[in-house]
Structure 1
Amino acid sequence: MPEIALHLLDLVQNSIRAGAKTVRIVIDLSAQLLLTLTLMDDGCGMDEEMAALAHSPFGTSRTTRKVGLGIPLTRESALATGGSFSLTSEPGIGTTVTASFDTRHIDCPPLGKLEDTLVSLILANPDQPEFEISLSSKDANEVLDTRQIKQTLGTVPITTPDVALWLTACLRDMTENTLGGITS
């Protein structure tokens, strides 16, 4: 995939298919320019055998197509930069995926339009899951939680165009404040 944001999109879609009620996304840029993406969900989780199979492009729980590339592509992309990848899961508890990318490496994909990816996920799934998004670096730490936004909005749907524009601007500012110039 050409952008880290697209890896995130695919991983979150896995969480949604797993029935997650809450998806927590943590993106941290270390002082050493290591970008760590962690996704935690409370979906159905996987047993040890399925979690091991998830690393393979031919390991999927889908019945429509017997290929699942999200986890293998994310893993290979992270490892190609000298980064790391881990997946832990427990049935009935959920799954955690962590991928670290060395942003100084020539093979590191750009972050991409993170705000557009996140807004698309929120608007396409207005009821469930709830999203907690945390972006951090040595300079800043910012959090966006859709539960708090919905509480503030009251009866106004989160999918309202003005809210969508605000979400995009908010997430763009969060990205610029925390992750700075690694977005493209």
Structure 2
Amino acid sequence: MMKDFAMHIMDIAQNSISAGATEIELLIGESASTDRLIMRIRDNGKGIPADMIGKVTDPYVTSRTTRKVGLGLPLLKQHADSTGGYLSVESASGKGTTVTAVFGLSHLDRQPLGDIAGTVVLLAAANPALRFIYRHTTPVGTYRFDTAEVNEMLEGMSISEAPVIRFLKEMINENLKEIKISG
């Protein structure tokens, strides 16, 4: 069961990686004035075939061969819908996919964000050849994390090394505190 946004992000990013993406961008925007939380994940993978795009939120339709049920996007849609939001999936063959989920920010049924920093760092460390961009905007400000910039800063050290992983997670969490993200 997907208990928080971080788990949804991990699931969608894994789909992006399976689709051959070399760049994955995660955008989270919180707006108290519109009472909306927007989560968008964009990749440059192979895209979803046109005949499948309308079926991606059906739990009994999956491109996987290891199991017959795909619950990631159907669950995300259910969670968005339950807060007065929605899910949209746009894709172009050979150009990538964009998944956008909109939630009622203050809605009682909105899931917590979870360990976003841990998820972003884990994805980056497990896939060092991929570029991950994470941008989080609140009414207080914007925080941006880009593995291209991080790798430049590391001057040859691997983003996969344990001390680097710990440092990056701490750095992201500290920056998120500065823009006062919700739970």
Question: TM-score, with normalisation over the residues of structure 1?
Answer: 0.93
Root-mean-square deviation (CA, aligned residues, Å) is: 1.2
Look up the match of 1:155: 156
Look up the match of 2:167: 166
Which aligned pairs between 1:56-135 and structure 2 lie closer than 5 A?
A: 56-127=58-129, 129-135=130-136
How far apart, in 2, do the equivalents of 1:118 and 1:174 lie? 14
How far apart, in 1, do the equivalents of 2:59 and 2:25 lie? 24
Deviations 1:109-142 (A, max 9, x none): 1111111111111111122x21011011121011
Establish whether residue 31 from structure 1 lines up as the match of residue 32 from structure 2: yes
Aligned length: 181
Structure 2: gaps spanning 5 or more residues: none
How far apart, in 2, do the equivalents of 1:34 and 1:176 lie? 19
Cα offset, 1:154, TM superposition: 2.3
Cα offset, 1:80, TM superposition: 0.5
% identity of equivalent residues: 36
Find the residue that maps to 2:37 and give its secondary structure: strand
Structure 1: gaps spanning 5 or more residues: none
Residue identity opposite 1:28 in structure 2:
G
Cα offset, 1:152, TM superposition: 1.9
Look up the match of 2:144: 143
Deviations 1:10-33 (A, max 9, x none): 111110110100000000001333
How far apart, in 1, do the equivalents of 2:48 and 2:115 lie? 30
Find the residue that maps to 1:99 and give its secondary structure: strand
Find the residue that maps to 2:88 and give its secondary structure: strand
How far apart, in 1, do the equivalents of 2:3 and 2:171 lie? 24
How far apart, in 1, do the equivalents of 2:81 and 2:176 lie? 24
Kept in 1, the 8 Å contact 2:29–2:38? The answer is yes
Cα offset, 1:79, TM superposition: 0.7
Question: Larger deviation: 87-96 or 25-34?
Answer: 25-34
Find the residue that maps to 2:179 and give its secondary structure: helix
Cα offset, 1:47, TM superposition: 2.2
Kept in 1, the 8 Å contact 2:31–2:105? The answer is no
